[in-house]
Copies of this chain bind each other. A is one copy, B any other.
Amino acid sequence: MLKLSKKADYGLIAVRHLAMRHLAGACSAKEIARTYAIPTELLAKILQKLVKKGLLVSQQGAEGGYALARDPATVTAFEVIKAIDGPLLITSCVTAHGDCSQAPTCTVKEPLGKVNEIIVKALNSVTISSLGDEGAEPPPSTSGLIQIGGAPQ
């Protein structure tokens, strides 16, 4: 139905949480899970995936936990989603598999491919640091605008 999975939601929430305390050291999965009422084990698995994809770093053992691997301003929502849910393909039959059963006649995917790119760009324009502070700081309209395609300068 064209919506993000809960796992991706959870991932974004957690990553944002880590971004807000970026310089405060690591944070355990349990702590984050409790804060947002997310099933602990599930969140743990999600975070582990993000570690494997290089978005987070982890510290094992007591007093261990997770932390962002990079500056939050350089991490985009798309990276997080892709790491959790896999590549973003809007249609059921896009390149990379080639197993579209109605391939011979299916031409809708052509223009929808463009829509796909737009979505990716939109998600890529949302950085983790911009997931900001409880909406307390609505971004100024200029920087809040999400630029699609070539910058119209």
Asked whether B92 lies within 8 Å of A107 as measured between CB atoms, the reply is no
Query: Which chain B residue has the least Cβ–Cβ distance from A103?
Result: B37
Within 8 A of B (CB), among A79-115: 81, 85-86, 88-93, 101-102, 105-108, 110-112, 114-115
Given A112-B77, A131-B111, A135-B110: A92 and B6 within 8 A (CB)? yes
A100 to chain B, nearest CB (A): 9
Could you tell me if B118 and A148 are in contact, using CB atoms closer than 8 angstroms?
yes
**Chain A residues within 8 Å of chain B by Cβ, number:** 53
Quick one: given A16-B107, A36-B102, A92-B6, are A146 and B118 in contact (CB under 8 Å)?
yes
A108 & B152 in contact (Cβ 8 Å cutoff) = no
Contact A111 B130 (CB under 8 A): yes
Measured CA separation A52–B143 after assembly (Å): 42
* A60 interface residue per 8 A CB criterion: no
User: Which residues does chain B contribute within 8 Å of A152, judged by CB atoms?
Assistant: 152
The interface stretch among A22-30, A67-75, A119-127 is A119-127
